[in-house]
Structure 1
Amino acid sequence: MPQRQTRNRRALLEREAELLAVDDALGDVSGRLPDGTGIPGARRRGGLLAFAGSAGLGKTTLLAEVRRRAADHGCTVLSARGGDQEQQVAFHVARQLLQPQLAGAAEAEIRATLGSWYGIVGPALGLCAAEGTAPDPQGIRDGLDWVLTHLAVQRAPAVLVLDDAHWADPQSLNWLAAFAPRADDLALLIVVAYRPDELPAGAEAFRGLPGRAGHRPLGLEPLTADAVGRLVRDEVGEHADDAFCRECWAVTAGNPFEAVELTAKLRDRGVTPDGSSTHLLRDLAAATKGRGLVSRLERLGPSTVRLAWSAAVLGTQVPPDLAADVAGLGREEAADCAERLRQARILTSSRTLEFAHPLIATAVYHAIPDAMRVALHGQAAQSVVDAGLGASAAARHLLETHPEGDPWVVGRLRAAARETLRAGAPETARSYLGRALREPPQDEDRAAVLYELGCASQLLEPSVTVNHLRAALEEPISDPALRDGIVFKLSQSLAHSDRLSEAAEVVAQAARTATSARTRLRMQSEQFMWDAFRADEADSPGRSRRLTRLADRLTGRDLTERYIIGLRAWDATLRGEHTSTVLRHAGRALEGGLPWADEDRGFEVPVLVAMTYAYADRPERAEELFAAGIADFERHGWRGAHLSFGLLLLGYVRYRQGRLADAEDLARDGLRLAERVGRGTPVQWYAVAVLTDVLLARGRVAEATALAAEYAFREPFPAAVTFPDAQAVHGELLLARGLHQQAADELAAVGRRLDARGMRNPAWCPWQLHLALAESRDAPRQARDTVLDAVARARQYGARSAIGHALLVAAEVCGGPERLTLLTEAVDLLAASPAEHLLAQALVARGAALREDGRIEQAAELLDRGLETALRCAADGTAAQARTEIARCGVRPAAPGAAAT
């Protein structure tokens, strides 16, 4: 070890600039100097320090020195290294970094440390077995963020060191690249090193992250001739002549690894360091790499070669007994071979088998004959399973073997895929199952493998999932439960790909051919659900009648029946049936429970039931349901589209109550999560629609316009029904921008689409109210008819907020002597409803009408109430109108601070 440290120090020649950057960064993160004295006025801050250089330029040696200096500064050091053979092992680097900080504790202590994240990140870090539903990739990344942040805070100052980042597994690399900018706000220094020409696409972020070197990594350069000369003289003596030293530099091209290895050979062989020996240097240098290294290895004997091959196949930190088993060697013989490899400077360490340098490991691996390499991977898979390391440890080796129709291979790959999927790495699970399919599986297992492959692909590429599941249905399937599962997953994938009509047809066909009454009912419930979301449904009234007849005779004895009853409540909402009917069915649906985080059911129906309460002026119940659902999503690690939908629609519930600032915050959180899911997805349409509605309610038309432009919020609108209706929100935006004719055309199109489907509830989609306002300038009579029809529909539904909103617009459209009457009723109804922002508008409108009628005192009182309510709602536009009207009354408005209390 002292000899190795000396070599490392020698190899750090001409790294003064890099070490200075390291010392500066360590001083910042620790707030102290290496001698332990504090830096006056220091505020601990972290950041990113990246080193880039081709193979052999000393990255590993430099990072070893970083770890040593970090320890001198009193830092907690988290260290990991990417491995060429471990790139397919999900979370391999994350485990190296975090597992040692947690694994030594008892399970109870780990549970206490991780809290609610235990079941989410525990399997990914190898701390516990995966149970229950699989978290989505975003949930895992959020959990890893929490764990690393927690460690950085609890064990500050901390330094995270990642070597060979170009070989890190994609899951860990993507997580760290996304987390790195947050290190600036923690006492955490992240130091990475990689080969820039081998950096995978997923790690491109490391090239441009704002770190201590600006927007570029610190590049390592080869050593100069003087530095190589210093290495030579340190090893063989000061008498080495200049020409000899310069030739050493020439044959190694200044590569530190090759230079150090060459000087060691010069010492071991007792080479005279002068011109008489220069002809030996090229051959000696060649022996450190490529074919020269292989020849040197072969001279150590066949058993030693086989052990080296086995270690290269197994990867990093190889247990000697495991390598011996793969090589087919006895323990004593393997120990002798390992010692010969250490003496030859091919392996280091005695506790595990570790190659002296990644270049050596790569050269040894690529020197293995192809057929032998495949065989060794096959043996490695068997050996790791026999050693109790599990299917996931074997799977990466099975990926390198040739298909032979072996059921054992298929079984191990499927088991590994299940483990990996439950740990939150669907990409890796998909690669395992794809390989299992090529094995191939036995005929009776093929449908199951295709189904599992489809499930692994669903979060990544729903359209690819569709292909796998359709192929599965073409295979012979003896298990009815498997066939049902495939059908359900296929319909779900089609729906998530915006192919709702196909989704509905898949379950409709299954319902027609089902031999079990319960299966038929389940298929019907799925069909009803997808039809409810279809914007192109041919016979919506007919479907509504069928749903009503079926739901009214069900008792809710199981989840399928409760789903159908819940869909009945939602259908009644859309069609504007009275709120008493809506709430009765919603209550029936909830009596036995509606789980939000059920992989086999989806979350759509629980969301619809919750929204029925929001539209029926029961927002407190809607909030309870959303809070429980969001907690379920977070508990299961579903922090992508599911959580985005939950936050968005909770924001929409707050919007309907007039809690506009809260609504905007939730909508922006939902949009941020939707961004991580992907542009153009259904959740993004919801996000932009909700946030646009909120911004318009706050009077921020310019921001809403910019938002719509940024996300191409315009035609073509999605095939799925959204709430709020995307096209109607777009029409409302056009109206707010003063584009009356365009708004009228857009909103009239919404009306034709919804009326044809019997969706007549203005509480759900107030298209008529906005259309009447758009028509009022050029077609006042038509506008009056439109708005009065909306009032009638709202009265039929019976929600005070819906009726009050319709009356408020009717007062503006109709004008004349009816105006004050309509506004008086609107204020009374809205005051008894949860819709405070609409109440603020009604109060201001009625106050303005009273002012115009000459009743200044009454007007001022109402306007003051309107201003107070608008400020409480954060309805900035309404508040500005109130102030203008108060000024026209000739009185001073209440102070904002007082009005907001």
Structure 2
Amino acid sequence: MTPNAAAEHPLLERDAELRALQAGIATALAGRGGALLVEGAAGIGKTRLLDVAAARATERGMRVLTARAGPLERDYAFGLVRMLLEPALPRSDPDRRTRLLDGAARWAAPVLDGAGAGAPTNTAATLHGLYWLVSALTEERPLLLVADDLHWADVASLRALVYLLRRAAELPLLLVLATRPAEPGAGADLLQELAADPLTGALHPGPLSHAATQRLVRAVLGEPEPAFTEACHEVAAGNPLLLGALLRSLHTTGVTPVESATDAVRERAPAIVAMFVLPRLRHLPAPAAAIARALAVLGSGAALRHVAAVARLDPDRAAAAVDRLTAAELLAADPPLRFAHPLLAQAVLEHIPAGERHAAHRCAARELASDAAPAEAVAAHLLLTEPLRDDWVVARLRDAARVALRKGAPQAAVTYLERALGEPPSPQVRAEVLFELGSTQTRLGPTQGLARLAEAHELTTDPDARARIALRLGRGLETAWELPRALEVLQQAVLEADTASGVDPDVRLLLEAEFIGLARSRPASRTAALDRLRQLTPQARPDSVAGCMLLATAAVETLQVEGRADEAVAQARQALTAITRLSSGSFTTGVLYLAGPVLAAAGELDAALRGADAAVADARERVARIELGAALSWRAEMSRRCGALLDAEADARLAQDMAREFAVPYPHRLLLGFLLSALVERGELETAERELLELEVDRNHVHLLAGMGRLRLAQGRPAEALEQLLAAGRRLARRGWTHPGLVPWETDAALACHRLGRLKQARELADAALVRARHYAAPVATGIALRTAGLVHGLLDALWEAVDVLEGTAARLEHAHTLVELGAALRRAGHRVDSREPLRTGLDLAHRCGATVLADQATEELLASGARPRRPLRTGAEALSPSERRVARLAAEGRSNREIAQALFVTTKTVEVHLSACYRKLGIASRGELPAALDRT
């Protein structure tokens, strides 16, 4: 029997694995997604199992997409994913391609196109787009994705597979993946995540038994004697590939399967595959050996012209050599050009001398580049060469880094740029590479890249380039919370830009805006910063990012001046309206951080909420998770102030979910400060305390201190509440924020003092808050201060005035609180009948706001007044969970299920489930009834 007999033999002892594959395919066809991870040593038969899975899925009508990773692809960002998905979007059918890449799936286009043009894409957007592309493919028919040799896959592709698997439960999708166990590398943690996912089933094909070994020996060499079989089993350790290589080697040398030949078996034990490959190469003509070495360097799927060039052969001789290698069973018989097994390629590659390997990779890189191959394919070879101070190499690596950033793979870009820096580049190029590397590293973490940026700044002499580097370095230092150093860098850059010519005016203005924004919050530099702000504000126009930032900053400072609230509001409105039209990226949220509180403090709550809505929509459109989380947290606070507590909690919870899943580093303290206030109003004190205990950063943030103060008041711990609230007041004073509408800490502190029996201090705080609110003509702050003064002084007139003031604002929750407090005060004063109307109105408002604690208080007061209120049932919109509330709101806006899923980063099936629950709880039957049902709260 010929050596082919072993390869052609059916799978042995893999019944359990085949049943698992069959079950996985059936589950996917039933609409439930999952994964099977085939893990085993090289040669154990993983690829054969994947081939069977592909064949059986095809027979059942599934679309099958396959890919195989290789050593060269480890730094090719999303290389494996591209190999998997690109065949499903043929350019020959542009209409279908456009349809599949519609909506959020468009963010997958840079991965599939592999082009370097365009702005960098954030990783979250790319992952989101790839999921929705796969989702669109599964809508056409059930899908099987097969990926072999995952241990060699690039990190970006592994991250995409993890992201996809987390959302696969509701898709007709099966992932069948194969990897070697315990392979070291950057993707090891992601492979573990894949293996640990609840949707993943593990397959561990084991070594062949003695009986299976005997069967294969018989197939290749004839009936063996027991000792001979035992020797073969021992040497190959039950590994099918090694056993096949051993048997073919024995067959080639004419060994018969008898006991006396066991020494010949054991002689081949070391490096069985190499012993199979290398002698064959030595017996083949020199061109065949050269082609084998060239293909080992280039990797599977290489074009014959490139292999021929690296082997230094003309195309005809190269083609003849390929035929010889195929006949020798070293290369696969069917295209693409590849070795029959990766271990064969590995054996050849390991026996190429280092110098020859270096020269081959350089040759491969130049051949690919001259053929307009993707930049990352060129860079894959350059990463394996020795540094030679070659600017051509540096340029190609920089090209690859730009492509990686375009696809949303900053880690791959860092790999390319670090290698470029090690080439090293010529002195005139070095600063540029340092800047690109440092800028890219800042995408990976708040403290990364700063040293590279600082070195680039030191080496650069061109004024415009220095200004740009200083701007990036200053922002990076701010993000890393190295504020004194950031201030020093920005201040020096501003001074240089003042005296140098050739600095882009937009860059100059951005430097000014960044410097002022940081310097005004530092006592030592605040005066100088405000002087520059006054000089620049007349020039600030809402047609640039810098102009919007300056307007928003000016709005905050203008608000602190009595009698200029209208001017501050106009500046804030201008900045917020314009920034979302500028494709400004993270600056949308930065402007919201400044302008939103100005509008809210001035009583323009509806405008503040619209600004937050625009920032959320902008971040969603760009799938910018950091900015979206921040925008959601600010919208949560605006919603709370407007009295939409359910919406506030829904936004805050979504921001929290995103922070946990994607490690988004936006300020947790800010978000929790907003969330605590909403939870207190909802009566969720235990939940609020648990959230606070889980906070892993310090609590020294003004909004968090204010939120903690309210929580401690609600918990009956007024001394602790007072301590937190006074700390918040001190932080605001150091910042120069005196407007009472920004963070109304004084009124809460007055209530804490009142609870402690410190009546004098309580009245002083309340009176001071009222005086300031009237001076600033801040309606909401005035209403809150009047209510507080009425409570601590026992003045009914102040409470009546507070009701009148707040009735004309959008602060429904504060209005409700004031009505209930007025009704309670009237009831305590003996005006039981008069108390009922404000209490009933307050109860209705509290219920609409979702303010559970306040509604219960109003109900108790009504009962004490002799009225018989109907207790509102906890049904309708109030019964919706935060997740259901989010879905219902978007559906009420007219969005489709798919659009809602894309906006909330969930699956379409999840949206369907939530909507069904919403209809049931709201007592409605259709989507069209949602707006009215939600507005009944």
- SS at structure 2 position matched to 1:424: coil
- SS at structure 2 position matched to 1:356: coil
- SS at structure 2 position matched to 1:198: coil
Q: What's the CA shift for 1:25?
A: 2.0
Unaligned 5+ runs, structure 1: 32-43, 719-723
Is 2:158–2:190's contact at 8 Å kept on the other side of the alignment? yes
**Structure 1 residue aligned with 2:600:** 614
Q: 500, 508, 532: which one pairs with 2:483?
A: 500
Stretch of structure 1 that moved more, 592-601 or 651-660: 592-601
Alignment of 1:37-116 (within 5 A): 44-116=31-103
Is 1:576–1:793's contact at 8 Å kept on the other side of the alignment? no
Percent identical residues: 34
Q: What's the CA shift for 1:286?
A: 5.6
CA distance 1:663–1:596, change in 2 (3 Å): farther
**Structure 2 residue aligned with 1:422:** 406
Q: Does structure 1 residue 145 correspond to structure 2 residue 145?
A: no
**Structure 1 residue aligned with 2:865:** 889
**Structure 2 residue aligned with 1:341:** 325
Matching residue's letter, 2:72: Q
**Structure 2 residue aligned with 1:523:** 511
Q: 239, 245, 254: which one pairs with 2:238?
A: 254
Is 1:578–1:796's contact at 8 Å kept on the other side of the alignment? no
- SS at structure 2 position matched to 1:795: helix
**Structure 1 residue aligned with 2:906:** none
**Structure 1 residue aligned with 2:642:** 657
CA distance 1:573–1:894, change in 2 (3 Å): farther
**Structure 1 residue aligned with 2:618:** 632
Deviations along 1:698-753, one digit per CA (max 9) or x if unpaired, are 221211110011113644x36xxxxx623332333333333322222222222223
Q: 793, 800, 811: which one pairs with 1:824?
A: 800
Stretch of structure 1 that moved more, 540-549 or 508-517: 540-549
Q: 369, 372, 375: which one pairs with 1:385?
A: 369
Is 2:131–2:163's contact at 8 Å kept on the other side of the alignment? no
Is 2:106–2:129's contact at 8 Å kept on the other side of the alignment? no
Q: Does structure 1 residue 374 correspond to structure 2 residue 358?
A: yes
Is 1:244–1:273's contact at 8 Å kept on the other side of the alignment? yes
CA distance 1:783–1:678, change in 2 (3 Å): same
Q: How many equivalent pairs are there? A: 867
Matching residue's letter, 1:164: D
Q: 205, 208, 215: which one pairs with 2:193?
A: 205
Is 1:529–1:605's contact at 8 Å kept on the other side of the alignment? no
Alignment of 1:378-527 (within 5 A): 378-478=362-462, 480-514=463-497, 515-516=500-501, 518=505, 520-527=508-515
Is 1:539–1:757's contact at 8 Å kept on the other side of the alignment? no
Structure-2 separation of matches of 1:614 and 1:302: 80
Structure-1 separation of matches of 2:197 and 2:587: 41
Deviations along 1:262-306, one digit per CA (max 9) or x if unpaired, are 444555666433335444334566674135533432332432222
Deviations along 1:392-421, one digit per CA (max 9) or x if unpaired, are 211111111111111111111111111111
**Structure 2 residue aligned with 1:674:** 659
Structure-2 separation of matches of 1:507 and 1:674: 30
Is 2:516–2:532's contact at 8 Å kept on the other side of the alignment? no
Q: Does structure 1 residue 796 correspond to structure 2 residue 781?
A: no
Stretch of structure 1 that moved more, 265-274 or 397-406: 265-274
CA distance 1:892–1:153, change in 2 (3 Å): farther
Q: What's the CA shift for 1:221?
A: 1.1
* TM-score, normalising length: structure 2: 0.87
Matching residue's letter, 1:782: Q
- SS at structure 2 position matched to 1:738: coil
**Structure 1 residue aligned with 2:13:** 14
Deviations along 1:89-131, one digit per CA (max 9) or x if unpaired, are 1001111221111134544532332224465221122x36355
* TM-score, normalising length: structure 1: 0.90
**Structure 1 residue aligned with 2:886:** none
Q: Does structure 1 residue 229 correspond to structure 2 residue 208?
A: no
Q: Does structure 1 residue 196 correspond to structure 2 residue 172?
A: no
Q: What's the CA shift for 1:461?
A: 2.7
Alignment of 1:170-319 (within 5 A): 170-198=155-183, 200-211=188-199, 213=201, 217-237=202-222, 239-265=223-249, 271-283=255-267, 288-319=272-303
Is 1:501–1:537's contact at 8 Å kept on the other side of the alignment? no
Structure-2 separation of matches of 1:710 and 1:542: 40
Matching residue's letter, 1:783: A
Is 2:552–2:594's contact at 8 Å kept on the other side of the alignment? yes
Deviations along 1:433-465, one digit per CA (max 9) or x if unpaired, are 111111111211211111111111111133232
- SS at structure 2 position matched to 1:124: helix
Stretch of structure 1 that moved more, 264-273 or 340-349: 264-273
CA distance 1:332–1:555, change in 2 (3 Å): closer
- SS at structure 1 position matched to 2:58: helix
Q: What's the CA shift for 1:600?
A: 9.6
CA distance 1:887–1:301, change in 2 (3 Å): farther
Is 1:840–1:869's contact at 8 Å kept on the other side of the alignment? yes
Alignment of 1:633-782 (within 5 A): 633-639=619-625, 641-676=626-661, 678=663, 681-712=665-696, 714-715=698-699, 717=700, 725-776=703-754, 777-782=756-761
Unaligned 5+ runs, structure 2: 877-935
- SS at structure 2 position matched to 1:66: helix
**Structure 2 residue aligned with 1:605:** 591
Structure-2 separation of matches of 1:797 and 1:188: 61
Q: What's the CA shift for 1:798?
A: 2.8
Is 2:843–2:855's contact at 8 Å kept on the other side of the alignment? yes
- SS at structure 2 position matched to 1:440: coil
- SS at structure 2 position matched to 1:123: helix
Stretch of structure 1 that moved more, 432-441 or 241-250: 241-250
CA distance 1:627–1:224, change in 2 (3 Å): same
Is 2:569–2:598's contact at 8 Å kept on the other side of the alignment? yes
Structure-2 separation of matches of 1:26 and 1:561: 57
Deviations along 1:520-555, one digit per CA (max 9) or x if unpaired, are 5443222112235x4x43353564354235414656
CA distance 1:7–1:180, change in 2 (3 Å): farther
CA distance 1:136–1:788, change in 2 (3 Å): same
Is 1:232–1:263's contact at 8 Å kept on the other side of the alignment? yes
Structure-2 separation of matches of 1:406 and 1:789: 71
Structure-2 separation of matches of 1:9 and 1:336: 26
**Structure 1 residue aligned with 2:764:** 785
Q: What's the CA shift for 1:141?
A: 1.4
Is 1:451–1:472's contact at 8 Å kept on the other side of the alignment? yes
- SS at structure 2 position matched to 1:892: coil
Q: What's the CA shift for 1:628?
A: 3.4
- SS at structure 1 position matched to 2:102: helix
Deviations along 1:642-663, one digit per CA (max 9) or x if unpaired, are 2211222122221221111111
**Structure 2 residue aligned with 1:38:** none
Structure-2 separation of matches of 1:363 and 1:455: 40
- SS at structure 2 position matched to 1:77: strand
Structure-2 separation of matches of 1:109 and 1:398: 36
Deviations along 1:855-885, one digit per CA (max 9) or x if unpaired, are 3333233222222212211111112212222
Q: What's the CA shift for 1:242?
A: 3.7
Q: What's the CA shift for 1:176?
A: 1.2
**Structure 1 residue aligned with 2:925:** none
Is 1:644–1:683's contact at 8 Å kept on the other side of the alignment? no
Structure-1 separation of matches of 2:232 and 2:3: 21
Matching residue's letter, 1:800: P
Matching residue's letter, 2:861: E
RMSD across aligned positions (CA):
2.8
Matching residue's letter, 1:445: V
Is 1:596–1:629's contact at 8 Å kept on the other side of the alignment? no
Matching residue's letter, 2:690: A
CA distance 1:476–1:523, change in 2 (3 Å): closer
- SS at structure 2 position matched to 1:49: strand
